[in-house]
């Protein structure tokens, strides 16, 4: 693996609610190298979006990042940076695109306004030069007659086009890291595929590290180099995509993979993971997946498994690893 440009260690994010402190992200660690793609997979409420926002420093009260966490971009620590310095990191070193393209662009501002301001927030550059860069960025994401389209309002674009504009905007300042929070979920399948390959290409061209947040394993399979599976605020399994998909270690990862519909299993009822994701206010003392797990034993219900490294750059948190790969030498 190339040197990590995004290095997250022991990241915890909690929210103060009426029911008490809810830890949405619980001391997770991962790193992404330049040009690498990490798929962050999990169900709704597993903490994957909060992780993305935390990397940008966009956690608002009542949410709070544990001050012992560490998020480094190009070796620079972001935790504890004052707001003005964080602002200069956002959009410059790390950018983000969101799930719903219909709402990520301001409906009352023209596209050029919204793109040019993103450049001029970080660089002293003339309006004209910024406009030229915005135009090139639009062309790069495949928007025809970019000059004209710059003067349009978001309402004049389709969903796929708007997501392209958002991607172009996010990549304007050639960020080191791009966090993509399910950016294709709201789009047609055909558009999804186009956008996926465009983002992949743009990121590899510029060496941008990509964190792709999704619940869709089939997206991760074709896109990511590594995958991290999140459950109830923790990363339960992490490793190279092909290894994890072929031989998952954690039963939850296996369950997720098993529930992807496939052409090869015609006529067979779709597999599903029984039960629901646990409420974060009321987690069981042991492994949070134990109540839904077919392999759970007493130790699972009482003790939280620690992350264990396995061979081939893999790791998992499970007392009863499936497909029993060799634990890496300590």
Alpha helices in 173-234 (DSSP H): 189-206, 217-223
Which pairs with CB-CB distance under 8 Å and at least 24 residues apart come from 133-137?
133/172, 134/168, 134/172, 137/168, 137/169, 137/171, 137/172
Contacts of 152 (CB under 8 A, 6+ apart): 110, 111
Question: Is residue 163 involved in binding other proteins (CB under 8 A)?
Answer: no
Question: Is residue 87 involved in binding other proteins (CB under 8 A)?
Answer: yes
What's the chain's length in residues?
330
Phi, psi of 136 (to 5 degrees): -60, -40
Sign of the CA dihedral 160, 164, 165, 166?
Answer: positive
Question: Is residue 121 involved in binding other proteins (CB under 8 A)?
Answer: yes
Question: Is residue 107 involved in binding other proteins (CB under 8 A)?
Answer: yes
Question: Is residue 118 involved in binding other proteins (CB under 8 A)?
Answer: yes
The 201-220 contact track toward other proteins, x by CB under 8 A, reads: --------------------
Shortest CB 121 distance to other proteins, Å: 5
Question: Is residue 122 involved in binding other proteins (CB under 8 A)?
Answer: yes
CA distance 153 to 105: 9
Phi, psi of 77 (to 5 degrees): -75, 130
Report the residue from 100, 139, 216, 225 that binds other proteins according to the rule CB under 8 A.
Answer: 100
Shortest CB 106 distance to other proteins, Å: 4
Question: Is residue 91 involved in binding other proteins (CB under 8 A)?
Answer: yes
Stretch that binds other proteins, among 31-39, 43-51, 86-94, 292-300 (CB under 8 A): 86-94
* C-beta closer to other proteins: residue 43 or 100: 100
Q: 259 with 271: CB under 8 angstroms?
A: yes
Shortest CB 103 distance to other proteins, Å: 4
Q: 200 with 28: CB under 8 angstroms?
A: no
Shortest CB 162 distance to other proteins, Å: 11
Shortest CB 169 distance to other proteins, Å: 7
Shortest CB 19 distance to other proteins, Å: 19
Shortest CB 283 distance to other proteins, Å: 28
Q: 55 with 69: CB under 8 angstroms?
A: no
Q: What is the DSSP string of 251-301?
A: HHHHHHHHTS--GGGTTSPPP---S-PPPTTS--SS-TTGGG-TT--HHHH
* C-beta closer to other proteins: residue 113 or 200: 113
Which residues contact other proteins (rule: CB under 8 A)?
Answer: 56, 58, 87-92, 95-98, 100, 103-109, 113-114, 117-118, 121-122, 153, 155-156, 166, 169-170
């Amino acid at each position: 693996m190339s040197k990590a440009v995004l290095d997250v260690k022991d990241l915890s994010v909690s929210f103060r609610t009426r029911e008490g402190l809810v830890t949405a992200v619980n001391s997770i660690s991962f790193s992404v190298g330049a040009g690498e793609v990490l798929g962050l997979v999990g169900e709704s409420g597993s903490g994957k979006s909060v992780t993305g926002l935390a990397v940008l420093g966009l956690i608002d009260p009542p949410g709070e990042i544990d001050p012992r966490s560490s998020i480094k971009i190009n070796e620079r620590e972001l935790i504890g940076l004052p707001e003005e310095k964080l602002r200069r990191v956002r959009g410059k070193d790390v950018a983000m695109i969101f799930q719903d393209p219909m709402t990520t662009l301001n409906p009352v501002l023209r596209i050029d306004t919204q793109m040019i301001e993103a450049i001029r927030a970080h660089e002293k550059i003339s309006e004209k030069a910024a406009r030229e860069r915005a135009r090139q960025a639009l062309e790069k994401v495949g928007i025809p007659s970019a000059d004209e389209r710059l003067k349009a309002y978001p309402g004049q674009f389709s969903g796929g086009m708007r997501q392209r504009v958002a991607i172009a905007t996010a990549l304007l300042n050639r960020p080191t890291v791009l966090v993509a929070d399910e950016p294709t979920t709201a789009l047609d399948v055909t558009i999804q595929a186009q956008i996926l390959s465009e983002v992949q290409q743009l990121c590899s061209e510029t060496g941008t590290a990509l964190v792709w947040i999704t619940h869709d394993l089939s997206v991760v399979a074709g896109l990511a180099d590594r995958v991290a599976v999140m459950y109830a605020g923790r990363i339960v399994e992490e490793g190279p995509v092909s290894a994890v998909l072929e031989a998952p270690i954690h039963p939850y990862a296996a369950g997720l993979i098993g529930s992807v519909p496939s052409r090869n299993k015609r006529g067979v009822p779709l597999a599903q993971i029984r039960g629901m994701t646990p409420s974060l206010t009321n987690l069981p003392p042991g492994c949070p997946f134990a109540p839904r797990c077919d392999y759970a034993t007493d130790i699972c219900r009482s003790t939280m498994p620690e992350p264990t490294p396995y061979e081939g750059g893999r790791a998992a948190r499970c007392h009863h690893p499936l497909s029993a790969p060799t634990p890496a030498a300590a």
